[in-house]
A and B are shown apart, each in its own frame.
Chain A
Amino acid sequence: MKNLVILSGKGGTGKTSITAAFANLAKNGNPPIKTVLADADVDAANLELVIKPKRVASHEFIGGEIAVINPDTCIRCGICEQICRFDAILPPDSTRAAYQVDPIACDGCAACVYQCPEGAIQMQPQKAGYWYHSSSPFGDLFHADLIPAQENSGKLVTIVKQNGRLQALDSGASLLIVDGPPGIGCPVISAVAGADLGVIVTEPTPAGAHDLERALQTVQHFRIPALVIINKADLNPDMTQAIKDASKERNVDVIGEIPFDPLITTAMKQGQDIITYQPNSPASQVIQTIWKKIIIRLSLSGEEL
Chain B
Amino acid sequence: MTNRDSLKIAVASGKGGTGKTTVATALALSLAEDTSKPILFLDCDVEAPNAHLFLKPQFREEKPVEILIPEVNEELCTYCGKCAEVCQFQAIAVLSQRVLVFPQLCHGCGSCTMICPTNAIHETPKTIGVLQKGTAGEIEFARGVMDIGEPMAVPIIRQLKKWVAPLKPKITIVDSPPGTSCPVVESIRGSDFLLLVTEPTPFGLHDLKLAYQVAKELQIPAGVVINRENGVYEELDEFCAQVNLPVLMRIPFQRVIAEGIAKGENLLNILPEMSEDFQNTMDVIKTLVKKGK
Contacts and interface: CB of A to CB of B under 8 A. Distances in A.
Interface of A: 8-13, 16, 42-44, 46, 49-50, 64-65, 83, 85-87, 104-105, 107-111, 114-115, 146-154, 181-189, 203-207, 210-211, 214, 217-218, 221-222, 232, 235-236, 239, 260, 262, 265, 268-269, 271
A204 B263 CA distance: 8
Contact of A148 (B150, B189, B214, B263): B214
Interface stretch (B15-23, B32-40, B165-173, B271-279): B15-23
B181 A182 contact: no
Interface stretch (B69-77, B104-112, B240-248): B104-112
Given A12-B15, A46-B206, A149-B214, A235 B181 contact: no
Q: Of residues A186, A187, A222, A262, which shows the largest number of chain B Cβ atoms within 10 Å of its Cβ?
A: A186
Interface string B98-121: 000000000111110011000000
A186 B21 CA distance: 22
A182 B110 contact: no
Contacts of B202: 46, 49-50, 268-269, 271
B263 A236 contact: yes
A109 B88 CA distance: 6
A270 to B, nearest CB: 9
B111 A184 contact: no
B86 A111 contact: yes
B203 A49 contact: yes
A110 B211 CA distance: 29
B207 interface: yes
A264 to B, nearest CB: 10
A181 B180 contact: no
Nearest to B188: A149
A235 B178 contact: no
A43 B50 contact: no
Given A10-B17, A236-B262, 6 more contacts: A10-B16, A10-B50, A83-B110, A207-B21, A221-B149, A239-B263
A146 B259 contact: no
Contact of A46 (B15, B158, B259): B15
The 6 closest A-B pairs by CB, nearest first: A11-B16, A12-B17, A109-B109, A43-B179, A183-B47, A111-B111
A58 B233 CA distance: 31
A217 B18 contact: no
Nearest to B231: A269
A284 B198 CA distance: 26
B153 interface: yes
B258 A44 contact: no
Interface residues of B, number: 59
A8 to B, nearest CB: 8
A151 to B, nearest CB: 4
Contacts of A107: 107, 109, 154
A188 B122 CA distance: 31
Interface string B198-214: 00011100110011011
Contact of A104 (B107, B114, B115, B189): B189
B44 interface: no
Contacts of A44: 14-16, 178-180, 206-207, 210
A182 B48 contact: yes
A235 B202 CA distance: 23
Interface string B38-69: 00000000011010011000000000000000
A114 B211 CA distance: 35
18 contacts: A13-B17, A16-B203, A44-B179, A49-B202, A110-B88, A111-B111, A114-B111, A114-B114, A115-B114, A146-B180, A151-B185, A152-B181, A183-B178, A188-B47, A206-B262, A214-B148, A221-B149, A262-B230
A104 B185 contact: yes
Contact of A11 (B15, B88, B180): B15
B114 A148 contact: no
B262 A239 contact: yes
B92 interface: no
A153 B179 contact: yes
Contacts of B259: 235-236
A85 B110 contact: yes
A109 B189 CA distance: 20
Nearest to B265: A206
B201 A269 contact: yes
A228 B210 CA distance: 30
Contacts of B114: 83, 111, 114-115
Given A12-B17, A109-B111, A111-B110, A182 B179 contact: yes
Contacts of A206: 50, 53-54, 262, 264
A174 B218 CA distance: 44
A151 B181 contact: yes
A211 B109 CA distance: 30
Nearest to A102: B189
A11 B48 CA distance: 9
